[in-house]
């Protein structure tokens, strides 16, 4: 994982250097509340391994890690009871995807209607 920055904020959360509001954890994934929530439910699900993007995780992650990640996302939607009314999953990747933190994270947003997916620009 040559281009993985071990000093990124989510790596520090995984090492216990920064506190987090954990919603769910399993062997390969951690879910915690976003520090700047944009909806009543705004949880970030991250793999515990050093993956920067979705494509890094898809390419280099193990089947066990992939399964644990999917299970963690489902556990979050169950924990916050957003399944019935619906929710949105977002993964920002790289510059065009407007990814700020260079450790793969999936946003789980719900608890209110979250609006159209993208704003028209220009």
Active site residues: 105
- To ligand DGP, the closest distance from the beta carbon of 27 in angstroms equals 21
Task: Name the minimum Å distance from CB 2 to ligand DGP.
Answer: 20
Note whether 96 binds ligand DGP by CB under 6 A.
no
Q: Does 1 bind ligand DGP (CB under 6 A)?
A: no
Q: In what order do the strands lie in the sheet with 41-47?
A: 22-25, 29-33, 41-47, 106-110, 87-90
36 counts as binding ligand DGP under rule CB under 6 A = yes
Q: In the structure encoding, which two tokens stand for residue 75, read together?
A: 């556990």
d(CA 104, CA 29): 11
Q: How far is the CB of 103 from ligand DGP (least distance, A)?
A: 9
The count of C-alpha atoms lying within 13 angstroms of the C-alpha of 64, restricted to the half-sphere facing its C-beta, is 5
> Where does this chain bind ligand DGP (CB under 6 A)?
9, 18, 20, 32-36, 92, 98-101
């Amino acid at each position: 994982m040559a281009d993985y920055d071990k000093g990124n904020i989510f790596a520090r959360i995984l090492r216990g250097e920064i506190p987090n509001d954990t919603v769910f954890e399993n062997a390969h994934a951690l879910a915690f509340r976003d520090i700047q929530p944009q909806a009543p439910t705004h949880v970030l699900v991250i793999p515990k391994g050093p993956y920067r993007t979705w494509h890094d995780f898809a390419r280099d992650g193990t089947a066990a890690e992939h399964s644990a990640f999917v299970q963690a996302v489902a556990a979050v939607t169950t924990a916050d009871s957003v399944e019935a009314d619906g929710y949105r999953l977002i993964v920002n990747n790289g510059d065009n995807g407007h990814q700020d933190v260079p450790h793969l994270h999936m946003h789980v947003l719900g608890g209110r209607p979250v609006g159209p997916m993208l704003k028209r620009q220009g």
